[in-house]
Amino acid sequence: MRHRLITATSAIVLALATGASAADISQDGANAIRDNLNHLLPGDIAKKQPVTVKPAGSRYEITYDFAKLLDKVKKQDFEIKGLTPFTMFATPQDSGLWNLEGNNNFNVTGHFKGPDDKRSDFTYSIAQMDFTSVFDPAISYLRSGDFSAKDLKFSSTTDTESVNASFADMVYKLSSADSAMAGRLDFAANGRFGTFAEQVSSKDMPPIQFSADSLDFNAKVNGIAAKDLKEMVLFVLDHADQKELSKESETKLKEMLGKAFPLLTSLEETITLNNLAVTSAVGSGGAKSFGYHFTVDGPSNATRIGVAMDAADVKLDSALIPPGYTAFLPQALDIQFGVPGMDFAAFGDEFMKVDFSKAAGDTEKAGQQAAEKLFPGGILKVDFPKISAKSGVYDVEMSGELEGRVDTQKDYKLHASIVARDYDKTIAAVQELAKTNPDLNQASFGLMMIKGFAKPDADGAQRWDVDVASDGSVSVNGQQIKGPDAPAADEGAAPSDEAAPGDAAAPSDDAAPSDETAPSDEATPSEETKP
């Protein structure tokens, strides 16, 4: 069987032989690289040799003819015009690494038909794109690189909708280093897109325009078993046409999985839009900044996946919002939540028991059983270290944790701490609005009732520690305001041990403060839990 590996470097297939040096540049070396690169492609395309290589001084000139790569695509379903060859230069180093560099542009038009047989016409263009990088054949990926592009444009149209987007420029930097975990690598990437603009319109919707001064991004992935992952990808591609694996192949795959696990030790990604603006026929709005943050962290037997989003200096101007309600629109938002305690170690152990030589249905069932091991005891937890909103008339923040079983929506418990600052100002704002809208008198009365359950913090803020127990009882600041739920009508007879989960299977009340005492400050998630 032949190896077919697609390396994700701007969707360009790349594989270079090791052991070469600048003194080895020759036509024979060029032919070997050419044959190797074409060998990675499907046989009917490889025969056309879409990749050509020739010596160019102390380096090789590698040219990809994308038109030949797409030659077998059905013209009635997909057509593209303007494809020109993509050229890069590869210089072998005595270390076995390769220096890669290129300067190209891109300007194509075309159309395709989706599953619904609807035609979409598109254009892509990049006035200039440059890169210099270091490629490592041992992992079939880049160890470092600097990339830049100018005047990026995209458009897509159908008979019902249209999208046009552009970036003025882009810069991107990739780096890597040996990880603290032996034999593994840490990767880091950061960059910026400048002057973003997008317009979306359709028959059923007036045009909406999005713009931002820039888009910044940062990402880190630590503890990647890059060499082992390369071997796994090669193995999977080599056996992609087989319905079932032999016992020998299965053993080999599990050996590679064992070496690669855990696939990474941590991951972090941040994206920030600066001076975001949205304009439409019904109004305009935006924010000084809008951010998104994603993390995967923690030991393999207690991994936390976290998500956070925030917006600052939010503005909205729309005729759909009555003037009196403008002050209640949030001017700042911060939303953080995550899923802690995921046991990927147990998942890996269970996954290694899967018999890949069996039929697909049996393998899928075994895979589902492995997935269930992610949540110890069948308990799913969702924490929210901070959910806050601020405006001119309110400042409210909530934190806590929700816990429940993965196999039912009934058996759950919740602990949440809600803090409101300047709460009297909020009540006064609602009362003032009620003068012109009497329906809000009830809301005002409700806010005053809620204040009666609050306890003051040292800074004068109002706090409510809310606990919902697994039996349905609810307490606020230690005072029970709702008792346990009554048994369901069909539960006249005591359920057997087989019909209901045991006490060990239900979310434990030990995981949250008791209903009889108010939670201590230690129970409130700290800022350190922020993803």
Mean per-residue pLDDT for 164-193?
A: 96
Q: Report the alpha-carbon distance of residue 398 to residue 334 in Å, rounded.
A: 10
Whether the CB-CB separation of 181 and 194 falls below 8 Å is answered with no
pLDDT band at 68, cuts 50/70/90? confident
Which of the two residues, 501 and 357, has the higher pLDDT score?
357
Residue with token string 């060998």: 39
The highest-confidence range among 24-33, 418-427, 514-523, by mean pLDDT, is 418-427
Distance CA 155, CA 395 (A): 42
pLDDT of residue 167: 97
Confidence at residue 357, expressed as pLDDT on a 0 to 100 scale = 65
The pLDDT of residue 22 is 54
Q: How far apart are CA 147 and CA 311, in angstroms?
A: 29
160 or 243: whose pLDDT is higher?
160
**Token code pair at residue 352:** 């290694």
Residues 6+ apart with CB under 8 A from 50: 38, 41, 64, 65, 66, 67, 68, 69
DSSP β-bridge partners for residue 9: 12
pLDDT category of residue 204 using cuts at 50, 70 and 90: confident
Q: Tell me what pLDDT residue 19 has.
A: 44
pLDDT digits (tens, 9 = 90+) for 26-67: 999 899 888 888 877 777 777 888 999 999 999 999 999 988
Helix/strand number for the chain, H first, E second: 9, 22
Tokens 């300067």: give the residue.
Answer: 103
The phi, psi pair for 214, rounded to 5°, reads -165, 160
User: Which value, to the nearest 10 degrees, does the dihedral of the CA atoms of residues 17, 20, 23, 26 take?
Assistant: -20
DSSP string, 206-217: EEEEEEEEEEEE
Cis status of the peptide bond prior to 262, with omega within 30 of 0: yes
With contact defined as beta carbons under 8 Å apart, do 269 and 219 qualify?
A: yes
What does DSSP say about strands 379-390 and 332-342: parallel, antiparallel, or unpaired? antiparallel
Count Cα neighbours of 491 within 13 Å in the Cβ-side half-sphere: 9
Give the range among 138-147, 161-170, 172-181, 254-263 with minimum mean pLDDT: 254-263
| Higher-scoring residue by pLDDT: 528, 39 | 39
More reliable by pLDDT, 329 or 73: 329
Both tokens of 129, joined, read 């794109």
**Both structure tokens of 295:** 């993390």
Residue 121 has pLDDT above 70, yes or no: yes
The mean pLDDT value for 354-372 works out to 66
Given pLDDT bands bounded at 50, 70 and 90, which one contains residue 187?
Answer: very high
Provide mean pLDDT across the span 147-153: 97
| C-beta of residue 60 within 8 angstroms of C-beta of residue 53 | yes
Q: CA angle at residue 318 from 317 to 322, to 5 degrees? A: 105
Give the Å distances, CA to CA, from 14 to 33, 37, 88. Answer: 10, 7, 11
**Residue matched to tokens 């400042």:** 395
3 state DSSP class of 75: coil
What does the pLDDT read at residue 100? Answer: 96
Q: 204 or 124: which carries more pLDDT confidence?
A: 124
In terms of pLDDT, which residue wins out, 490 or 24? 24
Assess whether pLDDT exceeds 80 at residue 2: no
The least confident of 31-40, 128-137, 326-335, 391-400 is 31-40
Q: Which residue has the higher pLDDT, 364 or 340?
A: 340
Q: Of the given ranges (222-236, 357-371, 391-405, 489-503), which has the lowest mean pLDDT?
A: 489-503
Q: How far apart are alpha carbons 409 and 30 in whole angstroms?
A: 62
**Which of the given ranges, 37-41, 159-163, 199-203, 386-390, has the highest pLDDT on average?**
386-390
- The C-alpha atoms of residue 86 and residue 131 are separated, in whole angstroms, by 13
The span from the CA of 182 to the CA of 227, in Å, is 12
**Domain ranges (residues) in the chain:** 1-124, 125-379, 381-529
Asked whether the beta carbons of 104 and 86 are under 8 A apart, the reply is yes
